């Protein structure tokens, strides 16, 4: 994209857009929830579909002129099933604007106000919409929060005990800062024991599931939600998968597909963003190709390599390593806070995010840890050798063993070898 029209009509904004493009090109992005969308995805996102209004669903719109939009939405739904290898028992809704509205739509569809939602506590690696107290999910519904063991691992026995005591109507399994695989089968057994819906939020690991390097929740869950960026490399958006064969939905006489659709529209949203739907379809088309499976495998190999190299340099990793795309670093032994580390790293061109660690004694605004991930650097083509270099650059920035200007130059050289655009 050359932004020629934007430069002509709005030079001030064009300069800012170009500045962000340059920032992305000249920095190492290690935020696990960020990635780099392809030119094809960006073209769909910036297409004439932005101009259309399409309240309703394919074949049943409240506006005329939606024949093409209907085909695009159906294509996105079809590809969503194909990429996760699903049958027609799974209903697909591709209209949620992002992950948070998708989760809220599921709760609205399946629960009454005041009923219990059980999800992972935010400071332990959950998400705001998993029932955290400041989120509407923790205000309209009664939250029950599970945590981690002292070793940083999911304690399924403790989760089962909590579920048996609290009897939630819905259990959410999914994380934002957990470096290990999730045992969906165990979550399903717990959910069935207490007669609760099981909702799997796979926003962080969806691309890894597609690539076959993380277990899938689809054999076990009643509903699966995911964002479409992160490891899927698509636009900001979300998908809801509703299992028409859900036994708990049948017992409660809930048409789970219709309930989800009504919750997305008209309950929570108006018309879908048709350009976003097209971009989701484009990203799913890319994810269907063998190259995407190779990408997902490399994401995990890179994460394991980076974790290993950081450990060699004295960094303490929660659970001692990673099974997926991210790792959580406890900086307590270095006398650094997460905020200080984030600032030092950004100064040399390495972008991470500060993050709480399990049982953190510091505030969430200035916690004890940082969260690192490999989706974006893997998209750029980096492999294990570059993870060794990045670990060395992180060490040099945080200890610090070299002048920041020298580290920044090395970061730029590495970025130039693996261009984004």
- Residue positions annotated with a catalytic role: 53, 55, 201, 227, 230, 236
| Euclidean distance between CA atoms 166 and 144, whole angstroms | 7
Nearest residue to 69 (alpha-carbon basis) of 277, 375, 307: 277
| Euclidean distance between CA atoms 72 and 74, whole angstroms | 5
Q: How many CB atoms lie within 10 A of CB 381?
A: 12
Nearest residue to 264 (alpha-carbon basis) of 143, 122, 100: 100
Task: Report the SS3 class of residue 116.
Answer: strand
326: left (phi over 0), alpha (psi -120 to 50) or beta: beta
| Euclidean distance between CA atoms 418 and 378, whole angstroms | 10
| Euclidean distance between CA atoms 131 and 102, whole angstroms | 14
Q: How many CB atoms lie within 10 A of CB 164?
A: 11
* Contact status, residue 166 vs residue 193, Cβ threshold 8 Å: no
* Contact status, residue 349 vs residue 411, Cβ threshold 8 Å: yes
| Euclidean distance between CA atoms 103 and 140, whole angstroms | 13
Task: Name residue, tokens 């629960």.
Answer: 111
* Contact status, residue 190 vs residue 200, Cβ threshold 8 Å: no
**What would the two tokens of residue 370 be?**
């940082």
* Contact status, residue 32 vs residue 324, Cβ threshold 8 Å: no
């Amino acid at each position: 994209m050359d932004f020629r029209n934007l430069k002509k009509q709005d030079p001030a904004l064009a300069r800012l857009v170009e500045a962000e493009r340059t920032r992305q090109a000249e920095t190492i992005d290690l935020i696990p929830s960020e990635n780099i969308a392809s030119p094809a995805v960006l073209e769909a996102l910036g297409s004439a579909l932005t101009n259309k209004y399409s309240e309703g669903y394919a074949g049943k719109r409240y506006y005329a002129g939606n024949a093409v939009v209907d085909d695009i939405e159906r294509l996105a739904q079809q590809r969503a099933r194909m990429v996760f290898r699903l049958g027609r028992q799974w209903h697909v809704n591709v209209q949620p604007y992002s992950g948070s509205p998708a989760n809220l739509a599921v709760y609205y569809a399946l629960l009454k106000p005041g009923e219990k939602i059980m999800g992972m506590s935010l400071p332990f690696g959950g998400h705001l919409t998993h029932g955290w107290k400041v989120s509407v999910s923790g205000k309209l519904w009664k939250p029950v929060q599970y945590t981690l063991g002292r070793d940083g691992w999911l304690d399924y026995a403790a989760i089962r005990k909590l579920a048996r005591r609290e009897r939630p109507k819905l259990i959410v399994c999914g994380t934002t800062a957990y470096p290990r695989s999730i045992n969906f089968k165990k979550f399903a057994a717990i959910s069935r024991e207490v007669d609760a819906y099981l909702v799997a939020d796979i926003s962080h690991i969806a691309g890894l599931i597609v690539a076959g390097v993380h277990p899938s929740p689809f054999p076990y869950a009643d509903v699966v939600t995911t964002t479409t960026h992160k490891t899927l490399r698509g636009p900001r958006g979300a998908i809801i998968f509703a299992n028409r064969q859900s036994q708990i939905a049948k017992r409660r006489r809930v048409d789970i597909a219709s309930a989800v659709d009504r919750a997305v529209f008209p309950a929570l949203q108006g018309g879908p963003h048709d350009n976003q739907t097209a971009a989701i379809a484009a990203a799913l088309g890319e994810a269907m190709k063998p190259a995407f499976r190779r990408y997902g495998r490399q994401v995990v190999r890179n994460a394991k390599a980076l974790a290993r190299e950081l450990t060699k340099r004295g960094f303490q990793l929660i659970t001692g390593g990673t099974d997926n795309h991210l790792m959580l670093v406890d900086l307590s032994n270095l006398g650094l806070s997460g905020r200080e580390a984030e600032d030092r790293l950004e100064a040399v061109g390495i972008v991470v995010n500060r993050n709480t660690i399990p049982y953190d004694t510091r505030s969430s605004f200035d916690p004890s840890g940082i969260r690192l991930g490999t989706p974006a650097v893997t998209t750029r083509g980096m492999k294990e050798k570059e993870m060794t270099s990045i670990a060395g650059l992180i060490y040099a920035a945080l200890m610090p063993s070299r002048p920041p200007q020298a580290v920044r130059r090395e970061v730029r050289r590495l970025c130039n070898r693996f261009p984004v655009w």
